């Protein structure tokens, strides 16, 4: 089904992303998986290619695309089609950079944005803690005022780009009053090399082996007040403002990755013979393939409608929740069915479907679990 949401300039960026992946990602993917992280130089190369910072202001070295999330979408789709060994450009472009673009003051923009736009500066956001995941109100990492600094103490876990990152947006409790509720948190930018900031172990995950995920520890880290993003004690609301685009990006990635696995499965089901015929020609398998093809097309149409809603200024947090839970759950289903169609070969890591099976599992968890997404939708309906 023809997609109508993109303009020629978006497809030009898609072509750039495809060429970049073939040249700068595919030849090194196996090594990055073995190393447990990508080479940080690939971020600089991506910046040179225009795949980072395309929506940031031109005066800071960006591409000036502004709020047109369709540019983000084509980059997300192409890297998702390649698979989990790709660098986390979506984290940089869709998740963390918007905090800087939307909240940074002019001095902070001048100080940080050129490096972010060029790929010289790698970003991370630190929300989750050993005792606080979906429950952000349970965050215990604290920032205490001390003159013109905040003193940060605490630990974070499951932090994507935790090893490579240069700037980490840390969600801290700045108001110790339990009655403050959501008005107790601020976003502080902790920089690589600050005294007391330590990176813990690189976590051994079941999937996304090339993406560095780590624990972060803060012991009396002195963070200047100039590193506060947005307003003090308004961090929770800043997070809520940016989460819809993150969730849309995850949904886009989920369906693009599942579609790539499905396309390879079609080839496999055509070439693989059993009892003298292709396995795809058996009625049970044919019905499965037909079902998956239909559901992927439906999900793609909803994604494109969401992208158009972003362009029109109509995209809501509830739209993002619907997109995120449906697309990620569907991706799990599609990849699981595709693995089944591969039989024993699907269990072998040399086949893409095996790696995709473990890589995709996190998508119904990070960025807000399926259960949290359904809760958002249900509350919007008055329940």
Active site residues: 246
Identify which of 45, 40, 39, 67 has the alpha carbon closest to the alpha carbon of residue 55. 67
Look-up of token digits 């995920």: 213
> Residue 231: how many CB atoms within 10 A of its CB?
12
Alpha carbons 15 and 37: distance in angstroms, whole number:
25
Give how far the C-alpha of residue 268 lies from the chain's centroid of Cα atoms, to the nearest Å. Answer: 29
Look-up of token digits 């429950």: 135
Q: Helical H runs in the chain?
A: 8-20, 29-35, 41-48, 69-82, 89-90, 97-103, 106-118, 235-271, 283-311, 317-342, 352-359, 370-380
E runs forming strands in 127-264 = 142-146, 149-160, 167-173, 185-191, 197-202, 213-224, 228-229
Identify which of 211, 172, 208 has the alpha carbon closest to the alpha carbon of residue 189. 172
């Amino acid at each position: 089904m023809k997609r109508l949401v993109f303009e020629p300039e978006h497809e030009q960026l898609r072509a750039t992303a495809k060429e970049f992946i073939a040249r700068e990602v595919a030849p090194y993917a196996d090594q990055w998986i073995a190393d447990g992280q990508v080479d940080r130089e690939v971020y600089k190369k991506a910046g040179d290619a225009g795949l980072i910072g395309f929506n940031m202001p031109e005066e800071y070295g960006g591409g000036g695309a502004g709020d047109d999330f369709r540019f983000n979408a084509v980059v997300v789709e192409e890297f998702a089609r390649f698979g989990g060994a790709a660098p986390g450009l979506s984290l940089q472009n869709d998740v963390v950079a918007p905090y800087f673009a939307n909240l940074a003051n002019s001095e902070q923009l001048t100080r940080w944005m050129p490096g972010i736009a060029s790929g010289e500066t790698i970003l991370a956001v630190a929300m989750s803690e050993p005792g606080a995941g979906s429950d952000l109100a349970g965050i215990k990492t604290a920032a205490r005022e001390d003159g013109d600094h905040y003193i940060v103490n605490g630990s974070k876990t499951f932090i994507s780009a935790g090893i490579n990152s240069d700037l980490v947006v840390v969600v801290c409790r700045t108001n110790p009053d339990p009655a403050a509720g959501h008005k107790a948190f601020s976003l502080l930018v902790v920089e690589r090399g600050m005294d007391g900031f330590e990176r813990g172990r690189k976590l051994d995950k079941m999937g996304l082996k090339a993406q560095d995920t780590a624990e972060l520890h803060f012991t009396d880290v002195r963070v200047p007040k100039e590193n506060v993003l947005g307003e003090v004690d308004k961090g929770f609301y800043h997070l809520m403002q940016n989460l819809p685009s993150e969730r849309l990006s995850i949904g886009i990635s989920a369906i693009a990755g599942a579609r790539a696995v499905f396309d390879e499965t079609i080839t496999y089901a055509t070439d693989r013979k059993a009892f003298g015929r292709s396995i795809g020609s058996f009625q049970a398998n044919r019905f499965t393939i037909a079902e998956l093809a239909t559901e992927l097309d439906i999900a793609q149409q909803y994604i494109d409608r969401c992208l158009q809603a972003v362009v029109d200024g109509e995209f809501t947090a509830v739209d993002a929740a619907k997109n995120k839970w449906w697309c990620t759950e569907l991706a799990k289903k599609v990849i699981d069915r595709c693995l089944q169609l591969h039989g024993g070969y699907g269990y072998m890591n040399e086949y893409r479907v095996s790696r995709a099976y473990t890589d995709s599992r996190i998508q119904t968890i990070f960025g807000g679990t399926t259960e949290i997404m359904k809760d958002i939708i249900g509350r919007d309906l008055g329940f």
